[in-house]
Amino acid sequence: MPVGRVILGALAILTAVQFARLFWILITPVGPVNAWRAPSVNVVPQSARMALFDGFDPFFRNDATAASTQNVTSLSLTLYGIRANESSGGGSAIIAGEDGVQSSFAVGEEVAPGVVLDSVAFDHVILSRGGVKESLYLDQSVPAETVSPPASGSPTAPSAANADVGLNAETLQKSIGFAPRNEGGRVTGFVLQARDDGTMLRLAGFQAGDIVVGINGRPVSSAADIASQIRPGARLSVEIERGGAKVPIALNLEQQ
């Protein structure tokens, strides 16, 4: 039939084209011009490699920032706490001056005359003094004080209810209550209240009427913010307001 001949003719043409392409591949060189050769390996000298590594920063900081923050401030300031906000690039810090009074400063506020809080990092802050950037680090040379129960065998024997009482998460939750403080329609802290005779409150370093405003560098706005941090073996840095001043208290809870 004519249709069958047409199909056979098309198949023959396709077969001839494929054989021609195969023949062309076999007889022609790999490259479009002349023979193809692999490029030689360029070995960088040792001096050039060291210069490259010295200029590489794995934390993706630019040279201007690194150069401007390498100086540690000589001001008589002490950094007690940091709250960084990575989403907005802001944050705040608790800083005390020569008088030892701790105050909270937000980024952009004046810490001292002519000194502005420029930025906040995870372990230090950057201060701007006359356009010069200086670093102020958290003091980590002295470990946080461990609050522990008084030694046994004291002249006055403890009562049966308070015998063998340790500073742990369970006793804290049972012996200390938290009453919210509302200011302007929002919770700005929790007032400590003793649920026992006040022994556990004093044992932890608190006083009745202290107001908890932050734990581990984060402000508290609900009872869950406090309860979630009180757990066996936790190491807590509690910021409280006492008599109009902010006081830091460190707690090491026992393992249960």
- As a whole number, mean pLDDT of residues 165-176 equals 75
Q: Are residues 190 and 235 in the same domain?
A: yes
Q: Is residue 83 part of a domain?
A: yes
Lowest-confidence range among 29-38, 88-97, 166-175?
Answer: 29-38
Q: Provide the CATH number for the domain around residue 228.
A: 2.30.42.10
Listed residues 137, 152, 184: the one ending a domain: 137
Q: Provide the CATH number for the domain around residue 82.
A: 2.30.30.830
* Percent over 70 (pLDDT), the chain: 75
Q: Is residue 146 part of a domain?
A: no
Burial of 239 (0-12, 13-18, 19+ CB in 10 A): buried
pLDDT digits (tens, 9 = 90+) for 82-127: 887 766 667 888 898 877 788 889 889 999 889 999 988 877 889 9
Q: Are residues 68 and 132 in the same domain?
A: yes
> In whole angstroms, what is the distance from residue 194 CA to residue 178 CA?
9
Q: Is residue 17 part of a domain?
A: no
What is the model's pLDDT at position 23? 80
Q: Is residue 124 part of a domain?
A: yes
Q: Is residue 40 part of a domain?
A: no
- As a whole number, mean pLDDT of residues 231-241 equals 85
Q: Are residues 198 and 248 in the same domain?
A: yes
Residue 29 has pLDDT above 70, yes or no: no
Q: Are residues 245 and 181 in the same domain?
A: yes
| Number of compact structural domains in the chain | 2
Q: Are residues 183 and 132 in the same domain?
A: no
What is the model's pLDDT at position 60? 55
> In whole angstroms, what is the distance from residue 183 CA to residue 23 CA?
88
pLDDT band at 5 (very low <50, low <70, confident <90, very high): confident
Q: Are residues 244 and 173 in the same domain?
A: yes
What is the model's pLDDT at position 161? 35
Tokens of 55: 């200029």
Range 1-36 burial, b when 16+ CB lie within 10 A, else e: eeeeeeeeeeeeeeeeeeeeeeeeeeeeeeeeeeee
Q: Is residue 41 part of a domain?
A: no
Q: Is residue 204 part of a domain?
A: yes
**For the chain, the helix, strand and coil percentages under 3-state DSSP, each to the nearest 5:** 25, 30, 45
Q: Are residues 246 and 176 in the same domain?
A: yes
Q: Is residue 13 part of a domain?
A: no
Residue 148 has pLDDT above 60, yes or no: no
Average pLDDT, the chain: 76
SS3 158: coil
Residue 142 has pLDDT above 50, yes or no: no
Q: Are 187 and 179 in contact (CB under 8 A)?
A: no
State the distance between the two ends of the chain, measured CA to CA, in whole angstroms. Answer: 95
203 CB-near residues (< 8 Å, 6+ apart): 147, 149, 150, 165, 167
> In whole angstroms, what is the distance from residue 139 CA to residue 250 CA?
14
Tokens of 44: 């960088």
More confidently predicted of 186 and 29? 186
* Percent over 90 (pLDDT), the chain: 4
Q: Are 168 and 252 in contact (CB under 8 A)?
A: no
Q: Are residues 173 and 247 in the same domain?
A: yes
Q: Are residues 173 and 234 in the same domain?
A: yes
Question: Which residue range forms the structural domain that includes residue 243?
Answer: 169-252
Q: Are residues 79 and 122 in the same domain?
A: yes
